[in-house]
Amino acid sequence: MSLARAVFFLLILSGALVAQTTNEQGKFILHKFAKAIGEENYTIEQTSGKLTLKSDFLFTDRGTKVPLKTTFTATDALEPLSLSLDGQSSRMSGLKDRMEYYPQSQKMTLTRAGKTEDLSAPAGSFLIDGYSPVAMQQMLMRFWLRRGVDGFRVDVIWHLIKDGEFRDNPSNPHFVEGRPPNEKILTQYSTDQPEVHEVIAEMRRVIDGFDHRVLIGEVYLPLHRLVAYYGNDLAGAQMPFNFALLSTLWNARSIEKIIADYEHVLPAGAWPNWVLGNHDRPRVASRVGREQARVAAMLLLTLRGTPTLYYGDEIGMRQLAIAPDQVRDPFEKNVPGIGVGRDGCRTPMQWNATAGAGFSTAAPWLPLADDYSSENVANLDADASSILSLYKALIALRRKLPQLVKGAYQPVAAQGDILLYLREGEGEALVVALNLGGEPVSVASSSIGVGREILLSTFLDRGGEQVQGTLDLRGNEGVILGRSAQAG
How much is the pLDDT for 224? 97
Secondary structure in 3-state letters for 81-105: CEEEECCEEEECCCCCCCCEEECCC
CATH 2.60.40.1180 segments of the chain: 409-487
Q: Measured between alpha carbons, how far is 158 from 194 in angstroms, rounded to an integer?
A: 10
- In tens, the pLDDT along 274-290 reads 999 999 999 999 999 99
- In tens, the pLDDT along 233-260 reads 999 999 999 999 999 999 999 999 999 9
The answer to whether 351 and 312 are in contact (CB under 8 A) is: no
Catalytic choice (76, 192, 218, 417): 218
Is a pLDDT exceeding 50 seen at residue 337? yes
- Strand-strand pairing, 408-411 and 452-457: unpaired
The three-class DSSP label of residue 159 is helix
How much is the pLDDT for 130? 37
Radius of gyration (Cα) for the chain, nearest Å? 26
Share of the chain above pLDDT 70, in %: 71
Catalytic choice (39, 117, 150, 155): 155
Closest CA to 294 of 207, 385, 196: 385
Is 218 noted as a catalytic residue in this protein? yes
> Is the pLDDT higher at 68 or at 75?
68
Is a pLDDT exceeding 50 seen at residue 20? no
Q: Measured between alpha carbons, how far is 133 from 7 in angstroms, rounded to an integer?
A: 11
- In tens, the pLDDT along 111-145 reads 444 555 554 544 544 444 433 445 656 777 887 88
The three-class DSSP label of residue 57 is coil
**Residue 37: in which H helix or E strand, if any?**
none
* Highest mean pLDDT (candidates 74-78, 124-128, 170-174, 483-487): 170-174
How much is the pLDDT for 143? 78
How much is the pLDDT for 163? 87
Is a pLDDT exceeding 60 seen at residue 350? yes
The three-class DSSP label of residue 43 is strand
User: Is domain 409-487 annotated with CATH 3.50.50.60?
Assistant: no
Q: Which pTM was predicted? A: 0.79
* Lowest mean pLDDT, pick from 90-94, 219-223, 300-304, 311-315: 90-94
Burial of 282 (0-12, 13-18, 19+ CB in 10 A): middle
Q: Measured between alpha carbons, how far is 231 from 248 in angstroms, rounded to an integer?
A: 26
Name the amino acid, one letter, at 78: L
The answer for residues whose C-beta is within 8 angstroms of residue 339's C-beta and 6 or more apart is: none
How much is the pLDDT for 120? 52
The answer for residues whose C-beta is within 8 angstroms of residue 396's C-beta and 6 or more apart is: none
Burial of 111 (0-12, 13-18, 19+ CB in 10 A): middle
Q: Measured between alpha carbons, how far is 338 from 178 in angstroms, rounded to an integer?
A: 7
Is a pLDDT exceeding 70 seen at residue 21? no
The mean of the pLDDT values for the chain is: 80
> Is the pLDDT higher at 406 or at 485?
406
Phi then psi dihedrals of residue 188, to 5 deg: -65, -35
